[in-house]
């Protein structure tokens, strides 16, 4: 985990007394969002399936050293189950008192061309990313109304153009953007904000390693000439939850160094020859 250097930008204590529930909080990006929020006073509830991984991240976050910010870890939770989400939302309120902020960050990803992706594999990703985001907001909704809360969905830029081997993720993330926009409009009058963060390629993540196998010269293809850091996403998170964003809802904040404007995903050595061969193999259902 990077050392989150907020001192030059953010003011200590801006989230004192706040509580954030984070699905995918045990993952690489969302743990950094948790770290930033904790540094600034927010208590966090880390949600994931693997209890061991959740425990490890809770231990790391426990070293942040802000006495105003607590951390709890709730493993064994699958975002695809509404009952599971209702249970962890309840436990979060029981242990931390309330929920003000929600980050829907849990996601599944693997590389697959259409021909090799079973209907079940496609459904799994849509269920974790899209239905899981819906379930998360659903479970936290009473708390969001009560505390005039704020939601951040973690999306992507993959659906802005056609990215090979990522049709499942692109479809799921497009759904998340649509869900966020609709909820922003529905929830605005009751004082609840909804926004998306769309990360570009974030170094050190499993997704980045899978999507960009050939890293040579990759950074030069990004307008701002470097890959993303988890702290870039943490900074966007702090801004969107803070009072500085009190009139911002229904936006997708793209945090990608300008990469998606390049207009193509020119890093795929596998395109088109490997892909063409895969698409012409015996179809998988
Ligand atoms: N990495 C990138 O460059 C990149 C780029 C664009 C967008 N994003 C988005 O950023 C977010 C975080 O990405 P990351 O790279 O940090 O991912 P990651 O390290 O793979 O973390 C994924 C997290 O989601 C949890 N999760 C997966 N399936 C779940 C389920 N069914 N129920 C509950 N939790 C589940 C995982 O924990 P368990 O497995 O223990 O459940 C883990 O905590 C994702 O939404 C991803 O799509 C990432």
Q: Is 84 in the pocket of ligand 1 (CB under 6 A)?
A: no
Residue 5, pLDDT > 90, answer no
Closest-CA residue, ligand 1 atom 37, reads 48
Can you say how many angstroms the Cα of residue 254 is from the centroid of all Cα atoms in its chain? 12
> What is the number of residues in the chain?
285
CATH number for the domain whose boundaries are 10-279:
3.40.50.720
Q: Is 30 in the pocket of ligand 1 (CB under 6 A)?
A: yes
pLDDT digits (tens, 9 = 90+) for 67-78: 999 999 999 999
Is residue 266 pLDDT above 60, yes or no? no
Query: What spacing in Å lies between the alpha carbon of 90 and ligand 1's midpoint?
Result: 22
Which of 194-209 are b and which e, b meaning 16 or more Cβ less than 10 Å from the residue's Cβ? bbbbbbbbbbebebbe
| 27 ligand 1 Cβ < 6 A | yes
**What's this model's pTM, rounded to 2 decimal places?**
0.96
Give the tens place of pLDDT for each residue, 32-65. 999 999 999 999 999 999 999 999 999 999 999 8
Do residues 45 and 54 make contact, with C-beta atoms less than 8 angstroms apart? no
Is the distance from the beta carbon of residue 85 to the nearest atom of ligand 1 less than 6 Å? no
pLDDT at 104: 99
Which residues make Cβ contacts (< 8 Å) with residue 186, sequence separation at least 6?
none
Is residue 173 part of the annotated active site? The answer reads yes
CA distances from 174 to 1, 123, 171, 250 (A): 29, 14, 5, 14
Q: What letter would DSSP give residue 202?
A: B
Sorted by where each begins, the domain ranges of the chain are: 10-279
User: Does the pLDDT of residue 1 top 70, yes or no?
Assistant: yes
Catalytic pick from 155, 167, 180, 231? Answer: 155
What is the percentage of the chain residues whose pLDDT exceeds 70? 97
246 C-beta closer than 6 A to ligand 1: no
Contact 223, 251 (CB under 8 A): no
For residue 108, how far is its CA from the centre of ligand 1 (angstroms)? 6
Pick 109 or 51 by higher pLDDT. 51
Residues near 150 by beta carbon (within 8 Å), at least 6 away in sequence: 100, 101, 102, 144, 192, 193, 194, 195, 240, 241
The per-residue pLDDT for 263 is 76
Rounded Cα–Cα distance for residues 201 and 218 (Å) = 10
pLDDT at position 50 is 98
Average pLDDT, the chain: 94
Residues in Cβ contact with 174 at an 8 Å cutoff, skipping those fewer than 6 apart: 159
Residues 6+ apart with CB under 8 A from 233: 29, 32, 33, 154, 197, 199, 202, 255
Residue with CA closest to ligand 1 atom 19: 27
Instruction: Report the pLDDT value the prediction gives residue 99, as an integer from 0 to 100.
Output: 99
Nearest CA, atom 29, ligand 1: 106
pLDDT single digits (tens) 127-182:
999 999 999 999 999 999 999 999 999 999 999 988 899 999 999 999 999 999 99
Residue 186, burial from CB neighbour count under 10 angstroms (0-12, 13-18, 19+) = exposed
- Cβ–ligand 1 contact at 24 (below 6 Å): yes
Residue 3 confidence class, pLDDT cut points 50, 70, 90: confident
| 280 Cα to the center of ligand 1, angstroms | 31
What distance in Å separates the CA atoms of residue 20 and residue 92, rounded to the nearest whole number?
Answer: 9
* Predicted local distance difference test score (pLDDT) of residue 233: 98
| Centre of ligand 1 from the C-alpha of residue 128, in Å | 9
Mean pLDDT lowest among 8-12, 22-26, 247-251: 8-12
Q: Is 78 in the pocket of ligand 1 (CB under 6 A)?
A: yes
pLDDT tens-digit map of 211-236: 888 888 899 989 999 999 999 999 99
Closest CA relative to residue 144, chosen from 102, 177, 186, 104: 102
pLDDT of residue 265: 59
Select which of 39, 173, 180, 231 is catalytic: 173
Residue 19: CB atoms within 10 A of its CB come to: 26
């Amino acid at each position: 985990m990077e050392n989150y250097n907020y001192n030059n930008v953010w003011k200590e204590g801006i989230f004192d007394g706040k509580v954030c529930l984070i699905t995918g909080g045990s993952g690489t990006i969302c743990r950094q969002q948790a770290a930033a929020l904790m540094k600034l006073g927010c208590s966090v509830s880390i949600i994931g399936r693997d209890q061991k991984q959740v425990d490890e991240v809770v231990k790391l976050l426990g070293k942040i050293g802000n006495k105003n910010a607590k951390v709890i870890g709730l493993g064994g939770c699958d975002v695809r189950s509404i009952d599971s989400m209702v249970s962890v939302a309840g436990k979060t309120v029981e242990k931390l008192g309330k929920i003000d902020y929600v980050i829907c960050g849990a996601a599944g990803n693997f590389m697959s061309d259409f021909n090799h992706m079973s209907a079940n594999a496609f459904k799994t990703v849509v269920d974790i990313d899209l239905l899981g985001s819906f379930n998360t907001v659903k479970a936290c909704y009473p708390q969001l109304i009560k505390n005039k809360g704020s939601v951040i969905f973690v999306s992507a830029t993959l659906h802005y153009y056609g990215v090979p081997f990522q049709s499942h993720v692109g479809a799921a993330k497009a759904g998340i953007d649509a869900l966020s926009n609709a909820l922003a409009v529905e929830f605005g009058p009751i004082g609840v904000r909804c926004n998306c963060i769309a990360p570009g390629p974030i170094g050190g993540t499993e997704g980045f390693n899978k999507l960009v196998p050939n890293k040579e010269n990759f950074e030069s293809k990004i307008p701002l000439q470097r890959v993303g850091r988890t702290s870039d996403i943490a900074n966007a998170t702090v801004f969107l939850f803070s009072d500085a964003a009190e009139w911002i809802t229904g936006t997708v904040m793209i945090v990608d160094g300008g990469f998606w404007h390049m207009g193509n995903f020119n890093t795929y050595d596998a395109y088109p020859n490997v892909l063409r061969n895969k698409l012409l193999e015996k179809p998988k259902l």
